[in-house]
Amino acid sequence: MDNNFDIPGLTTAEIKKLILQCLEDNEVHSIPDIKYYLSQKSSKRFTLGQVSGAISQLATLNLIAKTGRGLYVQGENYRNEMKKLHITETNEAEIRDEGKKNFNEQTEFRRQIKKCLKESAAELEKAAQNINVLELMDLPDEETAFVLEVKRLREQMLKLVEKA
């Protein structure tokens, strides 16, 4: 029995890089086209869920754009982001150097995000202190729902601060 678990899998980062390479020809590509491209460029295994997740992330960044159901092309940010990301064939030393640079940039990014989230959570807390819980019962349902949503948002922000 053939065991595919012996074959290492593609990471999401690798899948995203390959998808961007696939779309470099400025043509419209379907999901099956992209999956075929991935299988031709790498012997590593991947799942449709990984491909869907990578496509979703790339579309969110506007690196790729959806032209129809399951059809994709380069997005508006593709060229600019490619320049920033320096997605090229590199040797191992360049990859290590780039990894160190990306780690330092990520650390600074995380520090900035952590500071922003802490400050925003503190501002939300200040605003929440002005709300009388008893008055919430007299507010319309939409207002009460909004206040509860803001509370959940603040809690999520604090969880992100812990992760950062």
150 pLDDT band, cuts 50/70/90, is confident
Q: What is the overall mean pLDDT for the chain?
A: 78
Confidence at residue 151, expressed as pLDDT on a 0 to 100 scale: 80
Higher pLDDT residue, 79 or 157?
157
Rounded to two decimals, the pTM is 0.49
Contacts of residue 113, Cβ cutoff 8 Å, sequence gap at least 6: 160, 164
What does the H/E/C string look like for 107-125? Answer: HHHHHHHHHHHHHHHHHHH
Smallest Cα–Cα separation from 20: which of 84, 105, 68?
Answer: 84
Structure tokens, 69: 């159901």
Percent of the chain with pLDDT over 90: 23
Q: What angle do CA 9, 14, 17 make, to 5 degrees?
A: 155
pLDDT digits (tens, 9 = 90+) for 82-113: 555 544 444 455 555 555 556 556 677 788 88
pLDDT digits (tens, 9 = 90+) for 136-145: 566 677 777 7
What is the arithmetic mean of pLDDT over 31-50? 93
